[in-house]
Structure 1
Amino acid sequence: GCEKLAVDVPYRKIEKLSLSDYLHALMPELVDILKDGTVDDDTVYDDETQEDMVDRFASIQTFIDQNHWGMNKNVHYSEPEFASYSEVELRENLSILDDLADVLYCSCCDTWRTERNDGFGCDCSILVKSPEADN
């Protein structure tokens, strides 16, 4: 996703890169594309789906910001007392990562979606149109 949207991931030693490094770079760009895009009969998304995805992706960034250290402690040291989130919250946010994968990659045509002149889409469809596409 970072590569296809040409977002900069801050350089660090490769062993220190984590999912949050990529998400911090990717999510603001993707949320802006979805928020600024237009939807109509030619797009995969309708108004409700577009708004839902913007809200869901914004919430995952907030979740990671609030729980990053607790998540790392749990993963690396198995110390659940460091986490400030519940299992339900974690499962909900994991489902948002599945949604993120579905937005970035189209399983129908087996391609990564990119930002194009006409909008954000793949070889077979457009999720949202570029605001300039209708002009």
Structure 2
Amino acid sequence: MGEITFGKGEYIMEKITIGAMFVCMILAALCFAHAFVFGFMGEKSIWLVPSYRKLPKEKREAYSVEKICTGARNTLALWGLWFILGTVACYFLNPLIVLVFVGGWIAMLIPRMSFREKRYDKFRK
């Protein structure tokens, strides 16, 4: 009986899969760690929200700090779950799907980096 050998292409694809899963797991861990900080510190973590920090003091008083921190924590936890799903998809489907997950996250992240009155309406006092 012959010995089963794997080609060089399978070895490279295995390395790509491991790398893609590693990227997703690291990003998930970072998101969950930040969500934990928001949950543990509560209202003291408001200064970690850059769009809130940039607001003038009179505008800051119109928003509930507790609601903003809770919203940030929930968003970070959802992003962590997004990357866990990306890890599973990389393993079972195709490792290049990591580009979809990271690209989708960046597309969700960029609009959140600036303050928009409409988006912050749900955080009003």
TM-score in terms of structure 1 length = 0.32
Structure with higher RCO (Cα < 8 A, 6+ apart):
2
Q: Which has the larger radius of gyration?
A: 2
More strand by share: 1
More helix by share: 2
